[in-house]
Structure 1
Amino acid sequence: MTDAPATSGLTPYISIDGTKAALAFYEKAFAGQIIDVRDADGMEGKVIHSQIQINNAPLFISDFFPDYGYPAVAPAAFMLHLQVEDAQVWWDRAVAAGCTIKSPIKVEFWGDIYGQLTDPYGVVWTIGQSVKK
């Protein structure tokens, strides 16, 4: 795999305990395409950098490295949002893969279809679809 430039002006970069398993999960749950995985030298099973493309956008992921000042912490104070054309399809696939429902998908007060899920790694994902009036 090769390093690919980010395709958007802002690329989320998250750390997860178990990057390789998370990448496989994101392939299944969010139709992701793994672009790059770089193992950490001398640290079996640890990933220093990876890139997965989800919904035409890059997401960078690495493992935690407590020995180097990056301790494992639970994801907090952010969500990863997927704005899609068919929210129900994305929702059903993510739930079937193992995401848990945080806020059910429904038409919200602002008029869009929207819901929140939590993946097995503690990351909150939101799925939205604009509803044309």
Structure 2
Amino acid sequence: MNEPVNAPKPLTGVTPYLSIPSRGGQAAAEFYARAFGAVEVRRQVADDGERLIHAHLHINGGSIMLSDEFPEYGGEQDVAPKGVTVHLQVDDADEWWNRALLAGAVPVFPLADQFWGDRYGQLKDPFGHCWSIGGPIKAG
């Protein structure tokens, strides 16, 4: 059987899976589309039409998955994400940074030229997840 031309490639490597607090999964998927140009591969919504069971997104050539929290399956509820930063290595850090800010992200570490050779900064999305954006320093 032939797959469609635009069919996603099988996943390999490491894929972040974000748990979104306060029934914000569908809003998070929409935020990631506005902020980071995410393209939705798949979305599955619970029977109640509100909670997101699963979403698979492509961002900048990679995959990320997310869902709402489901405390009835043993997880805690409304836990603030911490300890992980999702990094985006991009061609134009300023463009990606500004788009994320316009979508509602909040700066945590200002975007600036760094000693290691990247233009780099960190921000938080409206759901508490930390993202870093890095790209080449612009000449001149």
* TM-score > 0.5, shorter chain as reference: yes
Q: Deviations over 1:27-65 (max 9, x none)?
A: 00101111111122x444111111111101110001101
Show structure 1 runs of 4+ deviating over 2 A.
3-8, 130-133
- Contact 2:92/2:136, CA 8 A, preserved across alignment: no
- Relative to the length of structure 1, the TM-score reads 0.89
Alignment size in residue pairs: 130
- Contact 2:112/2:120, CA 8 A, preserved across alignment: yes
Q: Of residues 63, 72, 85 in structure 2, which corresponds to 1:67?
A: 72
CA distance in 2, matches of 1:25, 1:107: 26
Mapping of 1:22-101 within 5 angstroms? 22-40=28-46, 42-72=47-77, 73-101=79-107
Tell me the C-alpha RMSD between the 2 structures.
Answer: 1.9
Structure 1's unaligned 5+ residue stretches are none
- Relative to the length of structure 2, the TM-score reads 0.85
Which of the pair has more CA radius of gyration? 2
Q: Sequence identity of aligned pairs in percent?
A: 42
Residue 62 and residue 101 in structure 1: after superposition, are their counterparts in 2 closer, same or farther (change >3 A)? Answer: same
Q: Does 1:14 align with 2:18?
A: yes
Partner of 1:117: 123
